[in-house]
Amino acid sequence: MDQERLLAAVLLADVVGSTPLYERIGDEAALRQVSDCLDAMRAIVAQHGGDYIYSKGDDVLSLFESSEMALRAVSQISHQLTKGPLTARIGLHFGAVIRARGAVFGDVINVTARLSTTANPGEVLISQSFFEALSARSRGSLRLLDKMDFKGKQELFDVYTLGSDDRALSTQIASGNTVIDRRFAPPQPINLIIRYGDQLRSCRNNEFVTIGRSAECNIVVDRPWVSRHHATFTIANGKARLIERSSSGTFVSMGPGHEVFVRREEILLFGSGVISPGLRSSLGNAQVLHYEIV
């Protein structure tokens, strides 16, 4: 099979708003508007030197030789969509892709799709690698939004968006692709206190507290069902998180009757609560850690 491996900026724009449009104006009229929107995006991609790959449903996937070209195309697409009833969730990423059989493959495509699905309607989410591939001047047009975990990656990555005024609503990236609208403002400093038996640790902004069976961890939970490096508490941009990395998972409770199970994903922490690595906190041999945000 003929295939080509190349470095590229990847743009994925997913049109939103088509469902109420079909209900409001009927199938044929809505289809024309959606098709016009997709055609307009493809034309803008071509205008800025991009290579349109394909559409699946209401999205457009394209490759660019440089992040600069892709950013110019996205800026025009965002401006164009403000004029009509439809908008888009857009993701931008940069890295190595494999091109074969008229399509593109690789982890870069998957990450771009994650960025697109996490974005709010009308928003562009931009990866750290895309940001780093830009010139200093172009970087100045972007705004650091938040940090995000990517599947299979150990560390959090910075995520950017197009610069906007303070009235704009931005995405807060949370566990399981949950998105919460918030007004962008400087984060308030917080402190996260974690207690396990006689072990006590505090965590402040940009710090990490690791838990697990290994003696290397900040808090050691020596039980066979606990992974060597089970999970990490951290604070970034004024928000407390638990980054779960184990095979057995962790039960998190932030209130009576609100216990959730997470495994190899990230969850925002609020107020105070308990976490139980590997076992439900109600079981007799569960090892319960208490946390409090102050």
When the candidates are 3.40.50.2300, 3.40.50.1000, 3.20.20.140, 3.30.70.1230, the CATH number that belongs to 3-183 is 3.30.70.1230
For the cut 90, the answer to whether the pLDDT of residue 230 exceeds it is: yes
Average pLDDT, the chain: 84
What is the fold of 192-293? Answer: Tumour Suppressor Smad4 (2.60.200)
pLDDT in tens, 86-125: 888 899 999 999 988 878 888 888 888 888 888 888 889 9
Mean pLDDT calculated for residue range 15-36: 85
Contacts of 125 (CB under 8 A, 6+ apart): 90, 91, 92, 115, 116, 118, 119, 145, 159, 160, 161, 171
Mean pLDDT calculated for residue range 35-42: 90
Bridge partners, 105 (sequence order): 98
- With 0-12 CB in 10 A as exposed, 13-18 as middle and 19+ as buried, what is 51? middle
Residue 9, Cα to own-chain centre: how many angstroms? 17
For tokens 């650091």, what's the residue?
Answer: 144
Cβ count near 42 (within 10 Å):
16
Q: Which sequence spans correspond to the domains of the chain? A: 3-183, 192-293
Q: What are the Cα distances from residue 109, in Å, to 9, 95, 99, 120, 121?
A: 10, 9, 11, 19, 20
Structure letter (DSSP) for residue 205: B
pLDDT in tens, 136-154: 889 888 988 777 766 555 5
For the cut 50, the answer to whether the pLDDT of residue 37 exceeds it is: yes
Task: Check if 3-183 and 192-293 are the same fold.
Answer: no
Q: How far apart are CA 45 and CA 60, in angstroms?
A: 10
Mean pLDDT calculated for residue range 221-232: 94
Contacts of 276 (CB under 8 A, 6+ apart): 250, 251, 253, 286, 287, 288, 289
pLDDT in tens, 172-220: 444 444 444 444 444 567 899 999 999 999 998 878 899 999 998 999 9
Q: What are the Cα distances from residue 43, in Å, to 36, 47, 80?
A: 10, 6, 12
Q: How far apart are CA 233 and CA 244, in angstroms?
A: 9
User: Do 288 and 266 form a contact (C-beta atoms < 8 A)?
Assistant: no
